[in-house]
Amino acid sequence: MQIKKAIQFAKRTAAVGVAGCLAMLFLQSQIPDSFMLEPQQQLELVNMPYLSPLKQSGAKAAQAAKEESQTLALFGMIPVKTVHTVRQQAEKVAVCGTPFGIKMFADGAMVVGFSDIYTQQGWRNPGKEAGLRMGDVLVEMDGIPATGNAQVQQAVEQAKGNPIEVLYTRNGEQSKTDIQPVKDAEKDIWRIGVWVRDSSAGIGTLTFVHQQQGVYGGLGHSISDSDTGEQIGLLSGEIVPVEITGVKKGSVGTPGELRGSFSGQIMGDIQLNGANGVYGFMGTSPAGMVLSVANKQQVRKGKAVILTTIDETGPHAYEVEIEQAKLAGRQPNRDLLVKITDKTLLEKTGGIVQGMSGSPIIQDGKLVGAVTHVLVNDPTRGFGIFAENMVSTALSLTEKKNAA
């Protein structure tokens, strides 16, 4: 009997130990590897108050170093994770909330569809037969740059029925294949059965402009092809002012959208179409509140406002609730979960609509993030990105520019 009890006790102890290890691993996964701090700021995670740095001693505790390692501990006693901290003055930016038009030309011709061709031998599709897929980007065809549909057609005509060597990218990796054109029996022309797109345009919201550096950030997510969902590789692009002409109200299962018209005036260029937004340099800096940028660990659950434009009167602040703030989210533009609570905005738009991506989120007098996505099944809610990440990406452009 005593042996049986001992075995049961050992099993329970082992189970508790395993559960504890799993809980510790999960907690570690929720903590980023690094944090930005202001010069005299203490490392504090407002949404994880049970974690705090282990106390330091001696000269290092008396004066915080610009860069150092700190160990976060559970209730200040049980070490959980050692993180890297960097101290610098908080960045200040002009917060916008104004709509802007995006015009982009792709770095290649993206495959957005296939069309079977009727030949004397029956129906064929050379593009599919060569292994091409939706979202592939054609870079060269027999050495000719494939910058658009006209160049693709030119390469097909010049081949005169001979195989065409195609250089293309898929998921960021380059590959080659040979496409054998076929003769269209009805039109008597050579074709490869591939539809491509080389440009894109749309409406988004400008999040901020760093007035000292002249760099801006907007959208909070990449510009993707409407048919394939693939991020568009940037060759060149520009942003222009937009006048909002109307709003299609969103509902459950059907996202709404802002409608507007582009101005011919160029505001700035597009230097980067990245996973966490669109960035470039402004020709002139628009008016906007100058606010400090919050570090991600300062963003708390609770009340905030978004600054957005839904009519001709310009940007206005609307009340929201930050329901979740993930410090170590796996997706670069879904750090925050935001719920629209403002009755006026809900009445006019139904919540978050397409075109509001990039709308600044302000909390405690600081820029904390930007709206990025709407939840299709609940348009009153959507995701957001930490402003710290967007500003850091924007400033990296200035570093590249200065180094060039």
Q: Which residues are catalytic?
A: 221, 342, 357
Amino acid at 19: A
Rounded distance between C-alpha atoms, residue 387 and residue 404, angstroms: 26
H or E segment and range at residue 53? strand 51-53
Rounded distance between C-alpha atoms, residue 81 and residue 337, angstroms: 25
Number of H helices, E strands in the chain: 6, 27
Instruction: Give residue 326's Cα distance to chain centre.
Output: 15
Nearby residues of 177 by Cβ (< 8 Å), 6 or more positions away: 130, 131, 132, 165, 166, 168
- In 3D, which of 226, 309, 219, 211 has the Cα closest to residue 272? 219
For residues 375 and 382, the answer to whether their CB atoms sit within 8 Å is yes
Nearby residues of 62 by Cβ (< 8 Å), 6 or more positions away: none
Tokens representing residue 325 in the block: 């703030």
Hey, which bits of 249-399 come out as E strands? 257-262, 268-269, 272-274, 277-281, 289-292, 302-308, 316-325, 336-340, 360-363, 366-375, 378-386
Rounded distance between C-alpha atoms, residue 370 and residue 336, angstroms: 9
